[in-house]
Amino acid sequence: MILQRLKVFLDSHQIKYIVIMHSPAYTSLEIAALAHIPGKEVAKSVIVNADGKMLMVVLPASHMVDFNLLSVFTGAKNVELAGEQEFKHLFPECELGAMPPFGNLFTMDVLVSETLAEDEMIAFNAGTHKELVKMTYRDFVQLVQPKVGKLSFPKRYYIPSESWEMP
């Protein structure tokens, strides 16, 4: 699976990390609670479609993507959450929704919310809903070389607009 590929990649770059095994969990906040890690340190990968191009947006578990900011940041006119059918083929080794934030391993551009830089460590799914990798944010940025910007907001401030609809 992807965990082995990820470990080889990290080891080949002499990166220090730990793998945390946990019972199955499907939301990033649930994983944070199980692993006793603050939600702002657990990075989740969200796949978006920006004018027809798939992008990986990485943000804290405790945040939501701000599609208006993302549109400005990317210069795309239309940015929306990608449907699972649109991207699952891009991550054949991963369980759906458990993609690690290493889009570079999947030939995908990675955008990171600047709020992840506020902590020294990050943790993220390692391709399954039972495994988590924890490493320094600095090492993550060195390996992935993402574009970093203001792309998200804390969930507690989320107020849907009148035009918002359930998918």
Distance between CA atoms of 107 and 120, rounded to whole angstroms?
A: 26
Distance between CA atoms of 9 and 31, rounded to whole angstroms?
A: 23
Residue 145 CB coordination number (10 Å): 10
Q: Is the pLDDT of residue 104 over 70?
A: yes
The C-alpha angle 157, 159, 165, rounded to 5 degrees, equals 140
- How many residues make up the chain in this entry? 167
Residue 163 CB coordination number (10 Å): 5
Q: Are 107 and 53 in contact (CB under 8 A)?
A: no
Instruction: Return the CATH number of 2-127, one of 3.30.160.100, 3.40.50.300, 3.40.50.720, 3.90.960.10.
Output: 3.90.960.10
Distance between CA atoms of 102 and 8, rounded to whole angstroms?
A: 13
Q: Is the pLDDT of residue 158 over 80?
A: no
Q: Is the pLDDT of residue 157 over 70?
A: no
pLDDT digits (tens, 9 = 90+) for 42-77: 999 999 999 999 999 999 998 999 999 999 999 999
Q: What is the longest distance spanned by two Cα atoms in the chain?
A: 49
Contacts of residue 58, defined as CB under 8 A and 6 or more positions apart, other chains included, come to 43, 44, 45, 46, 101, 110, 111, 112, 113, 116, 124, 146
Q: Is the pLDDT of residue 98 over 70?
A: yes
pLDDT digits (tens, 9 = 90+) for 20-40: 998 888 888 888 888 888 888
Domain locations in the chain?
Answer: 2-127
Give me the percent of the chain exceeding a pLDDT of 70. Answer: 93
DSSP characters over 91-151: -TTS-TT---S-GGGGT--EEEEGGGGGSSEEEEE-SSSSEEEEEEHHHHHHHH--EEE--
Q: Is the pLDDT of residue 1 over 80?
A: no
How confident is the model at residue 167, as a pLDDT?
Answer: 42
pLDDT digits (tens, 9 = 90+) for 124-140: 999 999 999 999 999 99
How confident is the model at residue 165, as a pLDDT?
Answer: 44
User: The whole model's pTM is what?
Assistant: 0.88
